[in-house]
Amino acid sequence: MVVRAASATGDFVLRLAFFALAPWVFLFFSLLVPVGAILINLALTMLVFFIAEAYRGHIRRGSIAYKLMRRQLALADFYRRRPPRPFIYYLLYPLLAPYWLLTRDGRSEFRLFRRFLIANAALLAIFRVVEYQRWWQPDISLGPFLRASALILLFQSAFVTAFIVPVMVTVVDSKLHKKRRRLSVYATVFALSGAFCILAYALQPSGVMTPAPVCARMRERSVAQPERAEEVQRHAAEAALAVLPEGKRTKKKTGEEISGPPLDRARAELGAFYRGQEVDCFRVFAMADGEAEVIVLRGDSKKRKTSPIWMALKAERQATRVLDDAADLPGGEGVLDDLTKR
């Protein structure tokens, strides 16, 4: 009896932690892959699931609604016959795939989730096609997009599975055992944590929360259209230089980072070639070089062992010239990495 009570308490605490941490995990995940498709996907899936649960008693067998929602309705019937496993099992559901594919009960349970997961995978693939039409073509060829999409779809599918399955099981389990109050607690904790998460996101400086795939796409565009990219970067650096005195300077390991009007002007110019959040991958820096000042526009692809995209202007008394070679920068080529260090 004591062991059962301790197990139930531990399960409740684990579910509570899941709903409290889920928004923050989602925020971190948003830095790794695009999350717009995931948000829409999760919203649609949860909407269908909750409608099925709320109107279970009013859906007649054989009706169109029953045919559309029979998988959702079958979940409760399955768990009436076989109580759900400990919550940790569903929390690690994607990692435990070999187990539930090899056991009879595991396969039976998976079949109940399968339609959700297949529909989610299809929606994610559709969103990737839309993204290619909107953000990639015609500047970037299909090859880089397909390579990026394979990894992104894998991560997105795993994340959706790791979120949807625990939520579904929690809802059904709470209703079967008449623990609606606990369900309200989970929803409240999730909503409060999500509100703080949104606030933390809103307070971050522009560009800090740009997803890595967006910056990788920025690099692909720069490499695919080098002449156009260089022209736009030069215009952006000149625009930043024109209002440099209005900028806010933050000391770095080497030089200073410039924010405010110079950065805004630079990103506005970059928008003539780069798309969407790609402009947020660029930052503006300034370094002293004798009596002159060097302005560096640096685009970070957020990939290790990958050189940054950059453009530098040296502002002297009577003229401004482009520095084409990184060796001409104050401190040499290594300064491009030192600029972002505190």
**Rounded to whole angstroms, how far apart are CA atoms 291 and 60?**
82
Look at residue 261 in the predicted model and tell me its pLDDT: 92
Q: Per residue in 228-247, pLDDT tens?
A: 999 999 999 999 988 888 88
Look at residue 1 in the predicted model and tell me its pLDDT: 57
Band of pLDDT at residue 2, cut at 50, 70 and 90: low
Q: Nearest 5 degrees, angle CA 108-CA 19-CA 49?
A: 45
Please check the confidence at residue 4 and state whether its pLDDT lies above 70. Answer: no
Q: Per residue in 30-64, pLDDT tens?
A: 777 777 767 776 677 667 666 766 666 666 666 66
Residue 317 near residue 291, CB atoms below 8 Å:
yes
**Rounded to whole angstroms, how far apart are CA atoms 235 and 230?**
9
Please check the confidence at residue 317 and state whether its pLDDT lies above 70. Answer: no
Look at residue 82 in the predicted model and tell me its pLDDT: 81
Q: Which of 210, 317, 330 is nearest to 270 (CA)?
A: 210
**Rounded to whole angstroms, how far apart are CA atoms 89 and 95?**
9
Band of pLDDT at residue 265, cut at 50, 70 and 90: very high
182 and 286 inside one domain? no
Residue 263 near residue 295, CB atoms below 8 Å:
no
Q: Per residue in 114-170, pLDDT tens?
A: 777 777 778 778 888 888 888 888 888 888 888 888 888 888 788 778 887 888 888
Whether 88 is in a domain gets the answer yes
190 and 328 inside one domain? no
Listed in sequence order, the residues at least 6 apart from 14 whose beta carbon sits closer than 8 Å to its beta carbon are: 87, 88, 91
Please check the confidence at residue 322 and state whether its pLDDT lies above 80. Answer: no
Whether 216 is in a domain gets the answer yes
49 and 172 inside one domain? yes
Whether 263 is in a domain gets the answer yes
Q: Per residue in 164-218, pLDDT tens?
A: 788 888 887 777 777 778 888 888 998 999 899 888 887 776 666 788 888 889 9
Look at residue 49 in the predicted model and tell me its pLDDT: 66
The pTM score is 0.75
Alpha-carbon distances, residue 254 vs 243, 327, 334, 335 (angstroms): 21, 15, 10, 7
Residue 210 near residue 277, CB atoms below 8 Å:
yes
Q: In the listed set 179, 202, 225, which residue is the last one of a domain according to the structure?
A: 202
Q: Where do the DSSP E strands lie in 189-308? A: 248-251, 256-259, 282-289, 292-299
Whether 207 is in a domain gets the answer no
Please check the confidence at residue 107 and state whether its pLDDT lies above 80. Answer: yes
178 and 236 inside one domain? no
Alpha-carbon distances, residue 290 vs 14, 169, 287, 332, 335 (angstroms): 60, 66, 10, 15, 16
Whether 322 is in a domain gets the answer yes
Asked, as a colleague might, if the bond just before 138 is cis with ω within 30 of 0, I would say: yes
Q: How many domains does the chain have?
A: 2
157 and 220 inside one domain? no
Residue 319 near residue 328, CB atoms below 8 Å:
no
Look at residue 295 in the predicted model and tell me its pLDDT: 84
267 and 235 inside one domain? yes
Q: Write the DSSP string, 87-114.
A: HHHHHTTTTTHHHHHHSHHHHHHHHHHH
Q: In the listed set 202, 236, 271, which residue is the last one of a domain according to the structure?
A: 202
136 and 229 inside one domain? no
16 and 155 inside one domain? yes
Please check the confidence at residue 308 and state whether its pLDDT lies above 70. Answer: yes
Q: Compute the residue count for the chain.
A: 342
**Rounded to whole angstroms, how far apart are CA atoms 302 and 306?**
8
Please check the confidence at residue 94 and state whether its pLDDT lies above 70. Answer: yes
Residue 22 near residue 192, CB atoms below 8 Å:
no
243 and 188 inside one domain? no
Band of pLDDT at residue 272, cut at 50, 70 and 90: very high
Q: In the listed set 175, 202, 229, which residue is the last one of a domain according to the structure?
A: 202
As given in the structure block, the two tokens for residue 331 are: 């401190």
As given in the structure block, the two tokens for residue 87 are: 């919550």
Host domain of residue 183:
2-202
192 and 226 inside one domain? no
**Rounded to whole angstroms, how far apart are CA atoms 159 and 165?**
10
Q: Which of 30-44, 293-307, 308-322 has the lowest mean pLDDT?
A: 30-44
Look at residue 62 in the predicted model and tell me its pLDDT: 61
Q: Give the number of other CB atoms < 10 A from CB of residue 263.
A: 26
Whether 128 is in a domain gets the answer yes
Residue 320's DSSP bridge partners are 315
* Structural element, H or E, at residue 315: strand 309-315
47 and 152 inside one domain? yes
Task: Check residues 56 and 322 and name the one with the higher pLDDT.
Answer: 322
150 and 235 inside one domain? no
**Rounded to whole angstroms, how far apart are CA atoms 280 and 259?**
12
Band of pLDDT at residue 72, cut at 50, 70 and 90: low
